[in-house]
Amino acid sequence: MDSSLRLADYVEAERDRIVQTLFDYLRIPSISSQPEHAPDVRRSADFTAGLLRDAGLENVTLLETDGAPAVYGDWLHAGADAPTAVVYGHHDVQPVDPLDLWTSPPFEPVIVDGECRARGAVDDKGQVLYEIEAVRGLLGRDGVLPCNVKFLIEGEEEVGSPHFEPLLERERDRLACDVVVVSDTGMWSIDVPSVCTGMRGLVAFDIHIRTGRIDLHSGSFGGAVPNPAHLAARLVAALHDGEGRVTVPGFYDDVRPLLPAEKESFERLPFDADKWREMAGVGALVGEVGYTTLERTWSRPTCDVVGITVGYGGAGIKTIVPAEANVKVSFRLVADQSPARVAAAFEAWARAALPAWAEVSIHSEGPGVAPALTPADHPAVGALRTAIGRVFGTAPLLTREGGSGPEEALGRVLDAPVLYLGVGLPDDRFHAPNERMIMDMFWKGLLSAGELWAELAAALHPGAR
């Protein structure tokens, strides 16, 4: 380990205690989606609060919501001229089914072949812990931090953060900051460090098409009455043109193009399209013409039909003309697309594509999630890349993530750029049996967090708040 790193001695001295703390944290079955585990989620929140206090953070409290509590703590003695950061993570975890696929009990953590196996090891208790331990180590070493730091550790991320944005709005003044640091993402690989700069947004729809009161006999009525299966098929087929582009008018009008540095980083990543295709279990890779697979999944907006239900689907055949059909559609959005504008454009397009005599209802599944993007040339991103590069020994490449999460709300409500200091790996079995955290990545995450605060202090010059 590079002895010049700020927390190298701390890691060597505290390694056994930190591992034991991680194990104690992971033993709590804080499954937020299962009501019977609500007491465990609260116990996990209390444990998280204890970690913050032990690290030297102040004003530690549980922030209650209509669901599970979040945990807050701060250290605000770096001075008015120093930047302030909010560190975000979550202490709740996914369910563990199917149990028979685990090689060890999911809430009895073990280290095997250098990896910690347990539910929550990488998503997200392990990554929360190294952020906390970095602050503890710096305060123990120096007595001060280069930045003012606020921790916000959520308890409902694994159920979609249903109460998180109202919490941010309510606590906006308490959480005022210059930058947000998220510890719930990953890197490209163990030997190719990377920095995520954004996540796609999401808006989804449930479309019902009714053409009659009841299913009809296809011999008596077929060929003379409308068939909703045909209407649904035409609608789905019309969503994309021959080059894989979404045909909803104006869909691409607000799409922000990649910066040259991002495009260069994408191209430098050791991506094997054939291996990726095999991993996905598909026979071919398709999509918008003119873009690579990584560009399609990270930086381009998409539309997918996620369900079609119509007519009879059982064994054999049932000779009917069905009366109704259902189509479910989701759109992944990129900066600077608006979920509301996309929703309005899609509904107008769909209604125009269907006949006026059909009974059509289009239901938007929630308000949608806006895309999140921190420009790759932002000084805070530069500070993060410097910190990671110092620990990993090579400059990290730039990536994005195709999924969606609460990061957009953090950046928007707190009006601050979002940094992604996550060290999870693609094969860490997120949400699956035998979830793992490779401990070498854990220690590098802790060391990177230890380097970040000084880099941010040097890079950011906050104005008066």
pLDDT single digits (tens) 154-177: 999 999 899 999 999 999 999 999
Summarize the chain as % helix, strand, coil (round to 5): 35, 20, 40
pLDDT band at 465 (very low <50, low <70, confident <90, very high): very low
Q: Give the Cα separation of 430 and 75 in Å (integer).
A: 31
pLDDT in tens, 111-159: 999 999 999 999 999 999 999 999 999 999 999 999 999 999 999 999 9
Contact of 80 with 147, CB cutoff 8 Å: no
Tell me which of 347, 364, 381 is where a domain ends: 364
Tell me which of 319, 346, 364 is where a domain ends: 364
Task: Work out the percent of the chain whose per-residue pLDDT is above 70.
Answer: 99
Q: Is the pLDDT of residue 464 over 60?
A: no
Whether residue 38 lies inside any domain: the answer is: yes
pLDDT at 405: 81
pLDDT band at 462 (very low <50, low <70, confident <90, very high): low
Domain holding 212: CATH number? 3.30.70.360
pLDDT in tens, 202-239: 999 999 999 999 999 999 999 999 999 999 999 999 99
pLDDT at 463: 47
Q: Give the Cα separation of 126 and 447 in Å (integer).
A: 14
Do 347 and 443 have their domain in common? Answer: no
pLDDT band at 367 (very low <50, low <70, confident <90, very high): confident
Whether residue 275 lies inside any domain: the answer is: no
Whether residue 277 lies inside any domain: the answer is: no
Q: Give the Cα separation of 22 and 387 in Å (integer).
A: 24
Q: Is the pLDDT of residue 253 over 80?
A: yes
Provide the token pair at 462.
């906050």
pLDDT at 346: 98
Do 214 and 344 have their domain in common? Answer: yes
Instruction: Provide the domain count of the chain.
Output: 2
Provide the token pair at 256.
């922000």
One-character DSSP codes across 367-422: S-B--EE--TTSHHHHHHHHHHHHHHSSPPEEEEESS--THHHHHHHHT--EEE--
pLDDT at 8: 97
Tell me which DSSP letter residue 339 carries.
Answer: H
Mean pLDDT value across residues 34-54:
98
> Nearest-CA neighbor of 251 among 199, 322, 203?
203
Tell me which of 343, 364, 385 is where a domain ends: 364
Mean pLDDT value across residues 11-20:
98
Whether residue 290 lies inside any domain: the answer is: no
Whether residue 354 lies inside any domain: the answer is: yes
Range of the domain at 245: 201-255+301-364
Do 236 and 127 have their domain in common? Answer: no
pLDDT at 403: 83
pLDDT band at 366 (very low <50, low <70, confident <90, very high): confident
CA distances from 144 to 77, 221, 383 (A): 7, 80, 19
pLDDT at 104: 97
Q: Is 337 helix (H, G, I), strand (E, B) or coil?
A: coil
Do 117 and 26 have their domain in common? Answer: yes
pLDDT in tens, 414-447: 999 999 999 999 999 999 999 999 999 999 999 9
